[in-house]
Structure 1
Amino acid sequence: MQDHSHNRPRQANGQPTRVKHAAASHGVGAHHPHAPSDAHRVPGSSQAHAAGGTAYRPVGPDLTKSQDIIRVRKKRKKHSGRKALLIVLAVIVCVFGVVGGAAALYFNSVNQALSFDDKETIESLKSVLEPVAVDDEKGEQPYYVLVLGSDAREGDTASRSDVIILTRVDPSDGLITMVSIPRDTMVEIEGHGRQKINAAYAYGGAAGAVEAVSSFAGVPISHYAEIHFEELEELVDMLGGVWVDVPVTNDETGSSNSGVRIEAGEQLLNGEQALAFARERYGYIRGDFQRADNQRILAEAIVKKVLDSSPIDLPGTVQQLASCVSTDYGLTDIIDLARQFQSTSATFYSALAPSSTTTLDGVSYVVVDPSGWAAMMERVDAGEDPNAAGTEAAASNEASTEGESPGAEADSA
């Protein structure tokens, strides 16, 4: 092999001189595959090449130097991290936007289901319901809720308030007291004279019923809830049934017309059985009074089933309730109230207004004993068991049903 090193140009110190290939060596304007374009040359580099000067110098860090490589990597890492953060934030915003939108739709749909169909009912109720008193330390003070059960059956032209339960709610002590007022209770309704108390609903709707019961009971009413019997069966089935301790068989008299026989004893009632339990009265010796007892028992069983729901399942359970209840309560009000009772050992009291039956001008009425009622409501207001003051009245209820049940001419079930 020949040594051609003597042919290479040398510097003054004897070291070989590297040959620089100018663009002109291949012709003016010739393109070298490894040469950078003019856009990446330092200004004046073209002239330097043409004059045989030094090679082009790229703009930016010299990637042949390790410190510059490290600096570039750091810059890229910082930029990449910022970009990733922005992406994550964008995803979070999108997710919360979707979830928030879904939650808003859920709340709106349930509130609409809970509310009344017409604005007139809503506005009239607002005008008669009393605000709940609030204590700075204990929060909401005990208040009264009127619970009505409207029962529009096939062929009826209007609903009837077959269930009238005055309910005292004490959130701080976890106490619920339900007092049934017989639907045939005799009262005076302004502009209509002597009437049965359930006629107030027919004359004045929900607001008329609130005014009549508030005047009769002598207490302010702060909330209103209306249960629709036509959806009660579906509700109980959606809840998976409710446990009820049935006091007596629903065919004591052999005259039951519910078509569903229910024996005495604790049992899980499905929707069909629960509806028959709440409607039946001809099969009982105590007639309408036993039906009133049954309705409170069933209402308590439904409330307990709702309170047994886990915090996760509670909103869904309330959504199911909304299908058969119309109320001035909002969804958040109901959930908050349920959680308050879940955090305490809830106590339930239940009683029937001390009353007897009478017939005036051929019409059967229930007449409430004034002194017995006053004593009962005094105990209710104090958060005590109302039955302790109504022993004699309860006996009166038993005796009054030996004849015809109150309101027999007005109801076929």
Structure 2
Amino acid sequence: MKFPRPRPARRPLLAATALAALTALAPGALALAPTGLPAPEKGLNLLVVGIDSRKNVTPEEKERFHLGGHECDCTDVMMLVHVSAANDRVEIVSMPRDSLTTLPAGHVDRRTGQTHPAHPAKINNAWAEGGSSLAVETVESRTGLPVHRYLEIDFRRFMDTVDRVDGGVPICTEQPLKDPSTAIDLQPGTKWVAGGEALQYVRSRKADGKMDFGRIQKQQQFVVNTLRRLHDGILDDPAALKAFAATLRGTGAVERGISTAELLTLAAHLRDLPPERMEFATVPVRGFNPDIEGVGSTLAWDEEGAAEVFGRLAEDRPLPAAEAVAPSEIPVGAYKPSKGSSLICP
């Protein structure tokens, strides 16, 4: 499907916090309560997760957009979004799904009903074992930051939300991208996509040799370009903006879930935020850990670098520069913050 190019944006970018969720591939929803958006002295932290779920996706869509295969019932995406107390900056830090963590003792496995001792796991398994509450607890423990609000979204909601952006969203690449797992086959340049093709793009991790790090970069790029597209109509249409937010958050209830009203409040707070005041990064990674029985291959965070990143957010300060963090043993996993303005497709 070919979409027309958008009119030039009339305003800077909308709330990155609400729309970072567009790249999360998870089921579940946002709670209708609580009703009051927190205003912490050191800024607001929103955890956005995406879970590999094909619930309510039709057989035709599974075939067309290559959404078959086994559901992992775990988070494929984790983004910690920090909104400064002054609403003049947004930092988004992605946490790779294979990051090694320790799940706490005493949690009840939602799949088996068993109570587990503390044990090593990939960070994406926190949701699989304990749902949203354990995912939040694990991220708080791993980062040292409080999570004030939480958002999760599945394949169905992702596609439906993107389809509310009239005219589609641009994706772009400087090199050919071909991934047999998701069936994307992109030539250099820009392409306009709707919900299903957008999902193929943000799920792709085998197209460029960068593994999950490449997928994270695609997701971050997609967030910025979706925000840019919203300025072509939805921001000037209160009913359409409310419908967009309602589609994004769904109807279920989860602990600390952000409501539609709170998403709209964030949008109002950050309405005039320019893209250069948004910054994206992946948590600093040292390298791979030795395989762990029952867990497999995992990523080791650069603990000093991660402490610097999350310590700055705890103080409501911008992310550290790349030079402030030690080089990674995985070249494609190097810590390299990017301004939102650098991710906009031409």
Name the TM-score class by shorter chain: 0.5 to 0.7
RCO comparison, higher one (Cα < 8 Å, 6+): 2
**What is the rounded CA distance, in whole Å, between the counterparts of 1:335 and 1:228 in structure 2?**
20
Report how far residue 290 of structure 1 moved: 0.7
1:360 aligns with 2:266: no
Give the structure 2 partner of residue 202 of structure 1.
Answer: 128
Runs of 5+ in structure 2 lacking a partner?
1-26, 55-67, 105-116, 335-346
Q: Counterpart of 1:354 in structure 2: which amino acid?
A: P
Report how far residue 380 of structure 1 moved: 3.8
Structure 1 residue ranges (4+ consecutive) displaced by more than 6 angstroms after TM superposition? none
- SS of the residue aligned with 2:317? coil
Give the structure 1 partner of residue 215 of structure 2.
Answer: 291
Give the structure 1 partner of residue 176 of structure 2.
Answer: 249
Deviating more after overlay: 233-242 vs 142-151: 233-242
**What is the rounded CA distance, in whole Å, between the counterparts of 1:290 and 1:132 in structure 2?**
33
- SS of the residue aligned with 2:329? helix
Report how far residue 145 of structure 1 moved: 0.6
**What is the rounded CA distance, in whole Å, between the counterparts of 1:308 and 1:329 in structure 2?**
25
Q: Which of 275, 279, 296 in structure 2 is aligned with 1:349?
A: 279
Q: Is the 8 A contact 1:151 1:230 kept in 2?
A: no
Q: Is the 8 A contact 1:357 1:400 kept in 2?
A: no
Give the structure 1 partner of residue 304 of structure 2.
Answer: 371
1:169 aligns with 2:75: no
Report how far residue 261 of structure 1 moved: 1.0
Runs of 5+ in structure 1 lacking a partner?
1-114, 136-140, 402-413
Report how far residue 142 of structure 1 moved: 1.3
Q: How many residues align?
A: 271
Which aligned pairs between 1:334-345 and structure 2 lie closer than 5 A?
334-345=263-274
Give the structure 2 partner of residue 273 of structure 1.
Answer: 197
Give the structure 2 partner of residue 223 of structure 1.
Answer: 149
Q: Counterpart of 1:373 in structure 2: which amino acid?
A: A
Which aligned pairs between 1:64-103 and structure 2 lie closer than 5 A?
none
Q: Is the 8 A contact 1:256 1:281 kept in 2?
A: no
Q: Which of 317, 321, 324 in structure 2 is aligned with 1:383?
A: 317
**What is the rounded CA distance, in whole Å, between the counterparts of 2:317 and 2:309 in structure 1?**
11
- SS of the residue aligned with 2:269? helix
**Alpha-carbon spacing, 1:131–1:370, altered in 2? closer, same or farther (3 Å):** farther
Q: Which of 255, 263, 272 in structure 1 is aligned with 2:187?
A: 263
Q: TM-score, normalised by structure 1?
A: 0.58
Q: Counterpart of 1:322 in structure 2: which amino acid?
A: A
- SS of the residue aligned with 1:147? strand
Q: Is the 8 A contact 2:46 2:149 kept in 1?
A: yes
Report how far residue 293 of structure 1 moved: 1.6
What CA deviation, in whole Å up to 9, does each residue of 1:178-231 have, x standing for no partner?
Answer: 111011111110134001111110111111100001110110010001121233
1:213 aligns with 2:139: yes
**Alpha-carbon spacing, 1:265–1:390, altered in 2? closer, same or farther (3 Å):** farther
Q: Is the 8 A contact 1:256 1:280 kept in 2?
A: no
Give the structure 2 partner of residue 38 of structure 1.
Answer: none
Which aligned pairs between 1:105-254 and structure 2 lie closer than 5 A?
132-134=38-40, 141-153=42-54, 156=70, 159-170=73-84, 172-190=86-104, 191-239=117-165, 240-246=167-173, 248-251=175-178
Q: CA RMSD in A?
A: 3.2
1:333 aligns with 2:300: no
Deviating more after overlay: 221-230 vs 382-391: 382-391
**What is the rounded CA distance, in whole Å, between the counterparts of 1:256 and 1:285 in structure 2?**
13
Report how far residue 384 of structure 1 moved: 1.8
Q: Counterpart of 2:136 in structure 1: which amino acid?
A: V
**Alpha-carbon spacing, 1:307–1:247, altered in 2? closer, same or farther (3 Å):** same
- SS of the residue aligned with 2:299? strand
Identity %: 23
Q: Counterpart of 1:371 in structure 2: which amino acid?
A: E
**What is the rounded CA distance, in whole Å, between the counterparts of 2:197 and 2:148 in structure 1?**
32
Report how far residue 165 of structure 1 moved: 0.6
Deviating more after overlay: 264-273 vs 183-192: 264-273
Q: Counterpart of 2:99 in structure 1: which amino acid?
A: T
Q: TM-score, normalised by structure 2?
A: 0.68
- SS of the residue aligned with 1:268? strand
**Alpha-carbon spacing, 1:365–1:299, altered in 2? closer, same or farther (3 Å):** same
**Alpha-carbon spacing, 1:142–1:244, altered in 2? closer, same or farther (3 Å):** farther
Report how far residue 350 of structure 1 moved: 0.3
Q: Which of 310, 316, 329 in structure 2 is aligned with 1:396?
A: 329
**What is the rounded CA distance, in whole Å, between the counterparts of 2:31 and 2:263 in structure 1?**
18
